[in-house]
A = this chain, B = another copy of it.
């Protein structure tokens, strides 16, 4: 957990899974969205806003937009090292940003963002509840 100009950046690390590789011998491009999700999950657990609790309070944070750039790749036997931070918070939406880092070189292999809207459990757009809003604003 480090701070980048007042902004909280969470680093999460775990091994590449064999099932995530494809016939090119490296991690399939779609798997990085699951890595982002793990980075985001860990970020939320770390600041005390576990997404499981958000769902338990009948809110949802579906993805409305995302973008990814791939400059390198990971193979089985390597570790996924991912940095996650809050790029922007608004009353009804939140944007997370991510960097997947080569564990040996420190180079940025993959970077991206996911934008989410706050909805109730029926999918209707909602304002972020105050408790979560404060946690995310403090971190962003």
Are A65 and B75 also in contact (CB < 8 A) when A19-B22, A22-B18, A30-B34 are? no
How many copies are assembled? Answer: 4
A31 → chain B closest CB, angstroms: 8
Partner of A76, one of B14, B52, B64: B52
Q: Given the known A-B contacts A33-B29, A66-B68, A67-B67, are A51 and B18 also in contact in the complex, defined by CB atoms under 8 Å?
A: yes
Q: What is the minimal beta-carbon distance from A80 to any residue of chain B, in angstroms?
A: 12
Instruction: Contact check, A64 vs B69: say whether CB atoms are below 8 A apart.
Output: yes
Q: Tell me which of A55-63, A100-108, A124-132 binds B.
A: A55-63
Interface residues in chain A, defined as those with a beta carbon under 8 Å from any beta carbon in chain B: 14-15, 17-19, 21-26, 28-31, 33-34, 37-38, 41-42, 45, 50-53, 55, 60, 62-71, 73, 75-77, 114
Q: Can you list 18 A-B pairs, Cβ within 8 angstroms, ordered by A?
A: A17-B37, A19-B33, A19-B34, A22-B22, A23-B26, A23-B75, A23-B76, A24-B60, A24-B62, A29-B33, A29-B63, A30-B30, A30-B31, A30-B33, A51-B77, A62-B70, A64-B69, A66-B67
